[in-house]
Structure 1
Amino acid sequence: MTRPPLELLAARGTDLLVRVVTAACAARELPELAEELAGLVVRSAEALTFCDVYVLDEDDRALEAPGRPRVPLGDGDAGWVAAHGRARRHADGRGVAIPVHGDDATTIAVVDVRSAGPCREEDVALAAALAVLFAPVLSSCRRLRAAKEREHAAERFAERAVEVQEAERSRLSREIHDGIAQRLAGLGFHLSAAERALPDHHPEAAEQIGLARRLCELAAAETRAAIGGLRPPVLDDLGLSAALATLAREAGAARLDVTVTVTGELENALPDHVQTALYRIAQEAVGNCLRHASATCVDLLLEHDRDRVRLAVTDDGVGFSIRDVFAPGRRPGSYGLRGMAERAELLGGRVSVTSRPGGGTTVEAVVPVPASRRRGPETGRGDAEGVSLPARRGR
């Protein structure tokens, strides 16, 4: 009768059990755990000279082992064992491939051992016992690997989505600059020339040409502002902090006092697409203060925490009723807020709005920092009526 794995290992002495526990707890990620298990098998056996631990890939189509070529399912001894879920001895009798089964009895890995001569049954039994004990740890590592891959895929998708959006904004900016802006500049030149060439005895015509020239200048100024809003050069050249400072200065020209506070190593920690999304959220929030809030002061706070970045835009304006703005069939003023929520949600974050009539408004965006760029403090919140926005369009 086959002895249980723990009993078989315990018969080898407590030193082996200590090594098993140490290996299982020390390396929790692939491929390090596979290497540790392979080394443990060889060190613990009496006559095994080599061991490879192959782990099934994410698609369940091939086996992967540190420093070894991928083995498609069904190929060779290890591939056959992965496909059939049963142990198989090498044709020369000097090795055996042993399946490692997961929680649902499917094969998740293969322990492939070899020896200088015919494999001893005691060593094969030891390798099989270690495979049983390490099965839950390998399963956990595979799930962790899959979760990390999904996280990285989501980060790549968000980065690509923001890149596409910004590329389109850049294209529109160039087209407006090279098309409409140039036409307006030419029109302004000709209107000025017509105004100068008009005889003095046509005051009404001169007045109309002057009005047309001023409207042309206003349209040209609005066009330049639109170009700057589509893709602010300072964001590319100097980063998020400088772009927010520029946004504050531009709002100051419209008599809105914007104070910017930035904490944390933002430029070092945040990838470009996250900085771009946060700038767009701040831009929309400050724009709402100018268009709707009748505010005089705005506090813009950007905090970089250990695993997230928080943007809060707080104004002293008239505020509004959350229920009224987001009630079905009511005013469509929430589209800008929905756009901010979509940007944050694309990055795995969220946007919340806190406001009440006469009490000002706070728009807060919290975005996770990509796992590969994590570092450092945190902060609190206000207490007015609030709502966390789902990122869906319209009503």
Structure 2
Amino acid sequence: MTGAAGPAELLAGRGNDLLVRIVAVACSARELPRMAEDLAGLVVRSARALTFCDVYVLDEDERAMEWSGPPVPLGEGDVGWVAVHGRARAHTDGRGAAIPVHSGNATIAVLDVRSAGPCPREDLDLVTALAELFAPVLCSCRRLRTARKREHAAEWFAERAVEAQEAERSRLSREIHDGIAQRLAGLGFHLSAAERALPEHHPEGLAQIIVARRLCELAAAETRAAIGGLRPPVLDDLGLSAALATLAREVGNGPGPSGSIDVTVTVEGELEDALPDHVQTALYRIAQEAVGNSLRHASATCVDLLLEHFEDRVRLRVADDGTGFSIRDACAQSGRSRPAAGRSAPPGGLGPAGRGERVRRPDSYGLRGMAERAELLGGRVTVTSRPGAGTTVEAVIPIPGRGRP
């Protein structure tokens, strides 16, 4: 309907004020339905006789046209007809028309305009020019909408997956507490009773009962530790910071393989809202595994935990002063190419060179598990180490709905 002149020439002929309004709308928020609302307002303000405009955008499934009201199925009414045939269609009362917005050979949107009286041809030419000019913008908005939906779906899946894992851990914790732990408690009671009842002239039998009672107490202690490891109550009751502090106390109170170990926790930054439960759980499990590796494999005497809150992400850093290891050698032993830097690589993933190097060491499955927990939530885990210089595990996880790291 624009005649010989192209949309840019036609719009430029309407004056600089219109061009300024077009630029302002085109540079505004690229998210639907905001862009559709801004474009509808631009059409009405720029036309001479149009009283309102509705912008319909093809949905993700390409089965209906979405707008502020109920979706319009393809082929239904003027808007649905234009969406299917890709041609403008005047309303039967002569007071407006439905104008298609094309992207390639597809119709991705329809501008439905109305006027109080007969619709001037110049207004229809204006709408057609705006439809052609805003086609790339609306196409970009549709792609962004699809990306947002997939991002939300991925976040939902990650949350459900973590919830399922933690539900299974909670179930195991209850079963151990109500089953094995209770039986060990009963066994300890009977062993104590047998120790008291055994005559003193049976020293060998008494010694065996004492040994059995001590083994029972040790098994009970390990069972309690297993229950706490499966699902620490403090994580549910007080949150991540308190759970990390409790983890530090528990590790620090018990001697490590090479002597006592000092574990410190530092928390920096604040968030307006509490972290989602599945993010807290993932970060706690990563800290638990990293501290456990420092205790079991690194001969560390000091472990520092740093939890940093940013607006759109959370960073957990676990650094020890242990023996460390050569990531370059670990990659060579695994039969894969070495990282370019030879000092840093994400476990179970790509190294700095991005060539598919993988970290392999006795606890590599634990490292891989940390990486998988972070990746499930759209984050990453990086391990930095070298012989004699300790090991640092850093996890960065985005806060859902606030962008990516």
* TM-score normalised according to structure 2 size: 0.87
Amino acid at match of 1:9: L
Answer yes or no: is the 8 Å Cα contact 2:303–2:318 preserved in 1: yes
CA distance in 1, matches of 2:110, 2:41: 14
Mapping of residues 46-57 of structure 1, within 5 Å: 46-57=48-59
Answer yes or no: is the 8 Å Cα contact 1:49–1:114 preserved in 2: yes
1:30 aligns with 2:36: no
1:63 aligns with 2:93: no
Deviation of the 1:215 alpha carbon: 0.5
Deviations 1:279-338 (A, max 9, x none): 100000111111111111111111223432221111111222324545338754311111
Amino acid at match of 2:80: G
In the alignment, what sits opposite 2:346? none
**What RMSD in Å do the two structures reach over aligned CA positions?**
1.9
Answer yes or no: is the 8 Å Cα contact 2:271–2:311 preserved in 1: no
Answer yes or no: is the 8 Å Cα contact 2:311–2:402 preserved in 1: no
Counterpart among 388, 392, 403 of residue 358 in structure 1: 388
Amino acid at match of 1:320: F
Distance 1:373 1:140, change over 3 A: closer
Deviation of the 1:266 alpha carbon: 4.9
Distance 1:38 1:73, change over 3 A: same
1:313 aligns with 2:343: no
Answer yes or no: is the 8 Å Cα contact 2:240–2:280 preserved in 1: yes
Deviations 1:50-101 (A, max 9, x none): 21001111222211112x1111122111112112211122233322111101
Greater share of helix: 1
Answer yes or no: is the 8 Å Cα contact 1:234–1:243 preserved in 2: yes
Mapping of residues 6-45 of structure 1, within 5 Å: 6-45=8-47
Amino acid at match of 1:298: V
Distance 1:263 1:221, change over 3 A: same
Answer yes or no: is the 8 Å Cα contact 1:325–1:333 preserved in 2: no
CA distance in 2, matches of 1:175, 1:77: 63
Distance 1:357 1:14, change over 3 A: closer
In the alignment, what sits opposite 1:298? 303
Answer yes or no: is the 8 Å Cα contact 1:63–1:109 preserved in 2: yes
Answer yes or no: is the 8 Å Cα contact 2:293–2:363 preserved in 1: no
The gaps in structure 1 that reach 5 residues or longer are 379-395
Mapping of residues 89-128 of structure 1, within 5 Å: 89-102=90-103, 104-128=104-128
1:328 aligns with 2:330: no
Answer yes or no: is the 8 Å Cα contact 1:325–1:334 preserved in 2: no
CA distance in 2, matches of 1:132, 1:297: 65
1:253 aligns with 2:258: no
Number of aligned pairs? 373
Distance 1:91 1:83, change over 3 A: same
CA distance in 1, matches of 2:380, 2:403: 19
1:268 aligns with 2:273: yes
Deviations 1:132-156 (A, max 9, x none): 1111111122222222222222211
Amino acid at match of 2:232: P
CA distance in 1, matches of 2:101, 2:21: 19
Distance 1:345 1:328, change over 3 A: same
Deviations 1:352-393 (A, max 9, x none): 21222222111111222323489xxx9xxxxxxxxxxxxxxx
Answer yes or no: is the 8 Å Cα contact 1:325–1:332 preserved in 2: no
In the alignment, what sits opposite 2:344? none
Answer yes or no: is the 8 Å Cα contact 1:289–1:295 preserved in 2: yes
Deviation of the 1:267 alpha carbon: 7.8
Higher mean alpha-carbon deviation, 341-350 vs 354-363, is at 354-363
Answer yes or no: is the 8 Å Cα contact 2:271–2:310 preserved in 1: no
In the alignment, what sits opposite 1:4? 6
Give identity over the alignment, percent: 79
Matched residue SS, 1:371: coil
